[in-house]
Amino acid sequence: MPGTLRATLIIAGSSICFGLVPLFGRVLLEAGLSAEAIALYRFGVALPLALAFLPRRRAAIRPAIALAGAGMAGGLGWTTYLAAVEHVPVASAGVLYMSYPLFVVLLARLLAGQPITRRSAFGAALVLGGAFIVNAPTAIGDGAWGNLLSSLPAPAGFALIVVILATVGRELTTMERWSAICAGHVVGLLPAALLSDSGTVLPGTAEAWLWVAGLAVVTATIPQILFTLAARAVSPARAAAAGAAELPTMLAIGWIAFGEVIGARETLGAVMVIAAILVTPAVSPQGGARPGFLIRAANQRA
């Protein structure tokens, strides 16, 4: 099998694993764990491996800190998506979570000086249109909008990781970048899990521990490492296309596991969001304007 095709299939398979999160998340939320604790377990299991690859040379300190900071924001933001899944249909939360191209466009402009092109503006419009179609007040009820809007830090945090990955520490290896982001996840989520009053930190049954292990291994550690390695062998456009497999997986989980109806509205909204992922251009390491102070500082040698 050609290397590019193999890498594409690995990315698609990894994205399917990412899309299984609502299944594990709802089970563990119903078992009494807080969203912060669930997120901590998802990323924390890989911490020993991440520490082994964490860059220690002087020139890598600033980029690693920037990547860890993005990981911290992304991990904390992900808890808001998990909390939303408990109260709204998976399709509603999933479409909003996959709206990250809109935030990528905005953050790439603010942090990296990348101009907003027609393609990126069109992608943003598709995101807004798809999210509104699926989550219109007449479709999900006014009460659900509060839960949905509270999950916006999730796509914003993931978009921050995308932008920082594309613009900071390009001299770092793939595993060094992944390790810094993973460490940032844990640093942010550990105190959040310990201080949360919305649920427990430790699973109360052996079955819950098995679900925790499955969450960490199946939806995070293995697919994240495979995705990180495979993404180096394909173009950003192909990686985005293969990664779009996450959203149909979320919809399928809602339909099969939770009995949610996937009708024309949900299908159209999902298609629009996937189209946005495909048409939004990748973040360029060199934007059209001078990068922001944080980007310049992170790329300076310590």
Triad 107, 180, 190: Cα angle to 5°: 95
Residue 292 has a pLDDT of 61
Single-letter residue type at 131? A
> Is residue 293 pLDDT above 60, yes or no?
no
Which has more confidence, 145 or 195? 195
Structural contact between residues 108 and 119, judged by C-beta atoms closer than 8 angstroms: no
Residue 1 has a pLDDT of 57
| Integer Cα distance of 33 and 128 in angstroms | 32
In this predicted model, what pLDDT tens digit does every residue of 99-136 receive, in sequence order?
888 898 899 888 888 888 888 889 888 888 888 888 77
Residue 211 has a pLDDT of 97
Structural contact between residues 86 and 34, judged by C-beta atoms closer than 8 angstroms: no
Reported as a pLDDT band with limits 50, 70 and 90, residue 299 is low
| Integer Cα distance of 63 and 171 in angstroms | 9
Mean pLDDT of the 8-28 span: 94
DSSP strands (E only) in the chain: none
> Is residue 140 pLDDT above 80, yes or no?
no
In this predicted model, what pLDDT tens digit does every residue of 225-274 receive, in sequence order?
898 888 878 877 688 778 889 999 999 999 999 999 888 888 998 999 89
Residue 52 has a pLDDT of 95
Residue 139 has a pLDDT of 63
> Is residue 2 pLDDT above 90, yes or no?
no
Two structure tokens written together for 156: 């914003």
Residue 243 has a pLDDT of 86
Residue 64 has a pLDDT of 93
| Of 25-29, 99-103, 219-223, the least confident | 99-103
How high does pLDDT run on average in the chain?
87
Q: Hey, which residues does 33 pair with through a beta bridge?
A: 200
The pTM (predicted TM-score) of the whole model is 0.88
In this predicted model, what pLDDT tens digit does every residue of 81-99 receive, in sequence order?
999 998 888 988 998 898 8
Mean pLDDT of the 35-54 span: 94
| Integer Cα distance of 124 and 102 in angstroms | 5
Residue 290 has a pLDDT of 59
